Structure 1
Amino acid sequence: MLGRTANDIFWMFRYLERAENTARLLDAGHRMALTRGRDAASAEWKSVVSTLGLRASYEAVRGDYSGAHVCDFVLRSKSNPESVLRMFECARVNARRCRSAITGEVWEAINEGWMTLRDLLARQVRESNLGTALSAIRRESTLARGATHGSMLRDEVYSFARAGTFVERADNTARILDIKYYVLLPSLSYVGTALDTGQWDNVLRSLSGERAYRWLNAGRMDARSIANFVILDARFPRSLAFCYAALRENLGVLARLHGHEGEANTLIRDAHQRLAGTNVETIFEQGLHEFLLGFIASNQGISDAIAREYRFVA
């Protein structure tokens, strides 16, 4: 496979995953903002923008953190090169460039998804319609992923698609968890209070893990249990452990198809083994923030190694 095609496939699915995770984060921020006063709601929206890494670009065009302004900027603003609409457009451009490598079903799902969101986000989304817009984003991403599962050969194209998905998902999960610890909670004096519990509930909602967590933990809501679930529970498809098990498997398939293991295989194997060999107590002793910063940096290193290994050309 040409490096350009591998790059297009890998990043197409990163864009789709990022768009879906952005919608989930906006939904969680909206839920929390509705339950709090104006100043606290503004802080919630600021945390959403910070989690997405868009604070500098947002503050360059907006002076306040109202829900309407944040949602418009994140979803559709032309001054935001990482808006959800732009991410779907990039996924579509990549899909069009490599149409011979994907099935007609995958192309149709991505193309129709982009057209749906283009029309839906042609005007500013009102707060009363925000839920409908966010559901549509999640649905279109899910349809593209379902078309991939249901129609594509389990070959190197599929493995690059899955690798892109899990690199992106792991990064998003780590960032959401980290921003909660350092941005969402305004003071250590709130630890263990109803506000703290609500913020951890917000993390689970951001990752679509609230029901699964409550089912496994009988409703118990504490920092260590939730961190253990989000980081180390390999049954949860958005946990770091699950993402790295899947990423290691797909990079292993690519190595077998190409006849050798490279730097990316070594990095993911070591990272996965470190994750499997730790526990939540060790993570908190080290410092959750420090652990997550290290994970994000390691994850970026794996992504860079994949690009070098397979000669990605944008």
Structure 2
Amino acid sequence: MLGRTAGGLFWMFRYLERAENTARLLEAGWHIALTRSDGDSNEWESIVRTAGQTMAYEAKYDEYTAQHVINFLLRDMDNPSSVMASVDLARSNARQVRTALSGEVWEATNDCWMSLKAALARPVSERSLHETLALIRNRASVVRGALHGTMLRNDIFSFARLGTFVERADATARILDVKYYVLLPSAAFVGSSIDNAQWEVILRSVSAERSFSWLHGGAASPQAIAEFLILDERMPRSLAFCSTKVTQYLRYLERDYGTRYECQVVADCITDCVHNRTVESIFQSGLHEFLGEYLSDLTRLAIQIEKDFQFYG
């Protein structure tokens, strides 16, 4: 496969995953903001910080308000990580690799772009936010369903899934890192209660509140939350699950091309780092430090994938 085609597939699905993750993050923060009776803007600021867009936001706005944050993260084309900008970039990449996609995947991607362009043509109010976010999640799910239901399990599929899981791991690590102060060991070891609203936003941001409740009976503790979102391979947005999937699809590419690439060495190290840790050791060495190292390694992996498969010629 041409490197540009591989890169187009990788980034198409990174951008689609980013759009969905941004919508989930915004929904979680919005639900938490609704519980604040004092009108505190900290949660809105936290949402922007988690999305990694603090500098871009503050260059445009002087304060954190619901309306500013909602529209900055949903429809502002000057923000390259906004939902609309991400979907626009996903569609551009899909057009570039259209011959590698099934008709259903292209149509689903194009329909996603058209639906969201219409929905985000005007500012989104808090009143219409829930409906808009549900539309974003739904359209992204349709594209993913078309991929799973119509594409051959070949190198095309592998590059698409690599993009998804690299982006998903990045999103989970970032939400945990920004909220890490909620999960400080002192809360676990001295029996202090943690802010229900704060841990709820962590779980809701990765669509994990119900599955966590099934496993833990609703009894949240810092260690249980961290273990679930970092180490539990049953959770499809955990770091362990995403790392394993990245390694898996790189091995498929090794089989298809008959070459073991440097990015596999990096991916194996990341996967081993997650699988060979306990939640106790992570807290002992520092959750923030662990997540920072993970994000750094993930960035290095993405760059190495681009180099190994010559995305840009």
Q: TM-score, normalised by structure 1?
A: 0.95
Q: How does 1:90-129 map to 2 (within 5 A)?
A: 90-129=89-128
Equivalent residue number for residue 15 of structure 2: 15
Alignment of 1:254 with 2:253, yes or no, is yes
Question: For each residue in 1:223-257, what CA deviation from the matched residue of structure 2 results, as whole angstroms up to 9, or x when unmatched?
Answer: 10000000000000000000011111101000111
Shift of 1:158: 0.2
Q: Report the AA paired with residue 277 of structure 2.
A: T
Shift of 1:61: 1.1
Q: Which moved more, 1:74-83 or 1:302-311?
A: 74-83
Structure 2: which 5+ residue stretches go unaligned?
none
Q: Which runs of 4+ in 1 moved over 4 A?
A: 191-195
Q: How does 1:151-170 map to 2 (within 5 A)?
A: 151-170=150-169
Q: Which moved more, 1:293-302 or 1:265-274?
A: 265-274
Q: Tell me the distance in 2 between the aligned counterparts of 1:81 and 1:274.
A: 31
Q: How does 1:17-32 map to 2 (within 5 A)?
A: 17-32=17-32
Q: Report the AA paired with residue 21 of structure 1.
A: N
Aligned length: 311
Question: For each residue in 1:256-292, what CA deviation from the matched residue of structure 2 results, as whole angstroms up to 9, or x when unmatched?
Answer: 1110111111111121112111100000001000000
Q: 2:179 is paired with a residue of what secondary structure?
A: helix
Q: 2:312 is paired with a residue of what secondary structure?
A: coil
Shift of 1:77: 1.4
Shift of 1:37: 3.2
Is contact 1:197–1:222 with CA below 8 Å preserved after alignment? no
Q: Report the AA paired with residue 30 of structure 1.
A: W
Q: Tell me the distance in 2 between the aligned counterparts of 1:270 and 1:64.
A: 41
Q: How does 1:147-226 map to 2 (within 5 A)?
A: 147-182=146-181, 196-226=195-225
Q: Which moved more, 1:270-279 or 1:117-126?
A: 270-279
Is contact 1:28–1:202 with CA below 8 Å preserved after alignment? yes
Is contact 2:19–2:81 with CA below 8 Å preserved after alignment? no
Q: Report the AA paired with residue 89 of structure 1.
A: D
Alignment of 1:33 with 2:4, yes or no, is no
Q: 1:22 is paired with a residue of what secondary structure?
A: helix
Q: How does 1:39-58 map to 2 (within 5 A)?
A: 39-40=39-40, 42-58=41-57
Shift of 1:195: 5.7
Q: Tell me the distance in 2 between the aligned counterparts of 1:81 and 1:177.
A: 22
* RMSD of Structure 2 on Structure 1 (CA): 1.8
Equivalent residue number for residue 297 of structure 2: 298
Equivalent residue number for residue 273 of structure 1: 272
Q: TM-score, normalised by structure 2?
A: 0.96
Q: Tell me the distance in 2 between the aligned counterparts of 1:266 and 1:213.
A: 32
Equivalent residue number for residue 228 of structure 1: 227
Equivalent residue number for residue 5 of structure 2: 5
Q: Tell me the distance in 2 between the aligned counterparts of 1:198 and 1:307.
A: 39
Equivalent residue number for residue 238 of structure 2: 239
Q: Tell me the distance in 1 between the aligned counterparts of 2:191 and 2:156.
A: 47
Q: 2:235 is paired with a residue of what secondary structure?
A: coil
- Amino-acid identity (%): 49
Q: Tell me the distance in 1 between the aligned counterparts of 2:165 and 2:38.
A: 36
Q: Report the AA paired with residue 286 of structure 1.
A: S
Is contact 1:29–1:45 with CA below 8 Å preserved after alignment? yes
Question: For each residue in 1:72-130, what CA deviation from the matched residue of structure 2 results, as whole angstroms up to 9, or x when unmatched?
Answer: 11101133222110100100011011110010000000000000000000000111100
Change beyond 3 A, Cα 1:192–1:52: farther
